[in-house]
Chain A
Amino acid sequence: MISVFEIFRVLIGLVVFVFVLTFFLRLSDMYSNTQVMGKKLETVNTFDQVAAQTFTSENPTTFSGFRDFTTLVYEPPKVKSDVGQKTLSVPVFFIPSKGVILLEKQCLDYNWFRFCWVYAYPNSTQILFTPLENTADARATIASIVQLLPDSMDYGYCSGDDARASTKSGFVQYLSGSATESYQPCTRQLPEGSRVVVINSTFNFSSGLRGDAFMELSSGKLYRKNSTGGMQPTGYRDALDVAAFIAGGEKSLEFKRSTLLRELAAATKIMKERTILVSQRLRERNKQDCMECSTLFPKACGWVDFSGNKYESLLYKNFLSSLGALESSMASGDYLQQLETTALYYESLKDEGCE
């Protein structure tokens, strides 16, 4: 005969069992989610760390942690993923991928300052060019862009269904020769992360041209299809503008401009004030070395407005006005001329032994 107590015990036992079971099931679910989130967060942090290491060590590296991510978008300087966003510590031009990513550092030398950044891209990436008019100018432009792209990436031409890629040095060597081939719009399916850059003096987009970036040599404009399928133009002023655009479109280009101009302005200000300081002290010690160029170099740095904290403003303003003209080709424009003059006077500083 089952007593009331026995029934009570069974009921309480069942309630407690169900409660404990539900509790632990929910807990394990929550714990596993936290672990997955933590792991992903760690992956994004590790990526930032690897990029920073590549930046400081100058050695190319690989990274393969993004395979479990469902969303991975790069909006410089932030990587947006399932676990939120992370601002990267160094300038990165990143083509997101869930496969193996190669990281490589590149620098642009302004003589008195080196602007450096890291490329991060899928290891199968190829950059293929389609110069619709294969002129010497187009080949020189391609060569100047390729010089600033990663060394371990493959480069080549794409014409119709034919795509041929080789190493960077092989392609640059090929570009220096005289080519007679004519190229057709690229129709080839390419590996993940690859980009097709179409180059021509002018474009007529009504013909439905295919490509990831369009470079209009006559106007100094870059085009890329926007989300609605329309072509949004943006001006370029140097090869790094184009390299950044190829890697990540307008956002990368805008990021490159703001980062480069900020760093360049700061470095130029340091260099200008340092030159004035050194020449003053040398004069006090009756040393006549580098008197002339010590005055010329700071004058040449006049394109950076040093007033207040926004000393990059004049440089940026000049840069934007030179973009606004959109008439000159890549090798000209106020901005590049000012940089060239400064570099020239900096060279004379070095020649006179002021450095």
Chain B
Amino acid sequence: MMKSQAAITEYLVLVIMIVLIAFIAVVLLFGFELLNTGTEQAKSRERRALFTLESFAASTALNGPQYQKGSFFEDARLTAATCGDLENLFGSGWWAEVRVLKDKAYCDSLPVWRRSKCQQDMRREENIVCTKQNYPSCGIWRFCAREEKMIYTSVPVNVYRKINNTVDLGILTVGIPSGG
């Protein structure tokens, strides 16, 4: 009697083990699928960020007519544009920034006593957010609200300074909510 009871218990344990293994296999399989879905979502967000960046850089509303190939923004157009305008062009759910990097080599061509002030002025201008009031003495354009968690992509661009008729180097950064 005891022997057969032990055999039954042994058998039940075996059955439970088989069911457990099957369950673990299912959890692993679906866990793997979930992982894949997560990866796909991340890739999709990255693609969206890249697409918004490309659309921004190529937009005829922000580039001058002589630079239709894109990545050559005009500062006056950037200043005139609002988040609402650009959402009508590129859709919603993004944040963008164009930041000018002034060429400080120009200051080196000035007499020594003026160099330091020139460099200071350039640094100050680089950090001023452009509005219609302070244009063209500014160097940053920001559009739409920035969220805490975003995926960012950046690309170098040229910024044509309309009033001074010069070209500055700039960095265009676009952020897409990472959803996490």
Contact = CB atoms under 8 A, between A and B. Distances in A.
Contact of B48 (A89, A263, A269, A272): A89
Interface stretch (A128-136, A178-186, A274-282): A274-282
B19 interface: yes
B80 A9 contact: no
A266 B163 contact: no
B51 A52 contact: yes
Contacts of A278: 76, 162-163
Contacts of A49: 47
Interface stretch (A20-28, A167-175, A195-203, A222-230): A20-28
Interface in A285-331: 285, 309, 312
Contacts of B157: none
Contact of A56 (B11, B54, B81, B136): B54
- Size band of the A side of the interface? 35 or more
A305 B102 CA distance: 37
Contacts of B40: 42
Nearest to B4: A5
A266 B88 CA distance: 6
Q: Which of B29, B68, B76, B132 has the most CB of A within 10 A?
A: B76
Contacts of A27: 26
Given A20-B18, A271-B61, A309-B84, A266 B76 contact: no
Interface in A101-131: 111-114
B79 A350 contact: no
Given A45-B44, A113-B61, A285-B163, A267 B89 contact: yes
Interface string A24-52: 10010001001000100010010001001
A18 B68 CA distance: 68
Judged by DSSP, the binding face of A is helix
Judged by DSSP, the binding face of B is helix
A267 B80 contact: no
A214 B62 CA distance: 39
Given A20-B18, A34-B33, A266 B132 contact: no
Given A16-B18, A267-B89, A270-B85, A5 B79 contact: no
Contact of B61 (A56, A270, A277): A270
A169 B60 CA distance: 27
Contacts of B28: none
B22 A270 contact: no
Interface string A250-277: 0000000000001101110111111001
A68 interface: no
Contacts of A262: 88
Contacts of B60: 113-114, 267
A271 to B, nearest CB: 7
A277 B76 contact: yes
Contacts of A344: none
Interface string A150-172: 00000000000000000000000
A27 B33 CA distance: 14
A274 B51 contact: no
Nearest to A262: B88
Contacts of B26: 27
Contacts of A23: 22
B8 interface: yes
Given A56-B58, A270-B62, 17 more contacts: A16-B15, A23-B22, A24-B22, A112-B65, A113-B61, A266-B61, A266-B88, A266-B89, A267-B89, A269-B85, A271-B61, A271-B80, A277-B76, A278-B76, A278-B163, A355-B64, A355-B65
Interface of B: 4, 7-8, 11-12, 15, 18-19, 22, 26, 29, 33, 37, 40, 44, 47-48, 51, 54-55, 58, 60-62, 64-66, 68, 74, 76-77, 79-81, 84-86, 88-89, 91, 132, 135-136, 162-163
8 contacts: A12-B11, A270-B77, A271-B77, A273-B80, A277-B76, A281-B136, A285-B163, A355-B66
Q: Which 6 A-B pairs have the closest CB atoms?
A: A266-B88, A273-B80, A274-B80, A267-B61, A56-B54, A114-B60
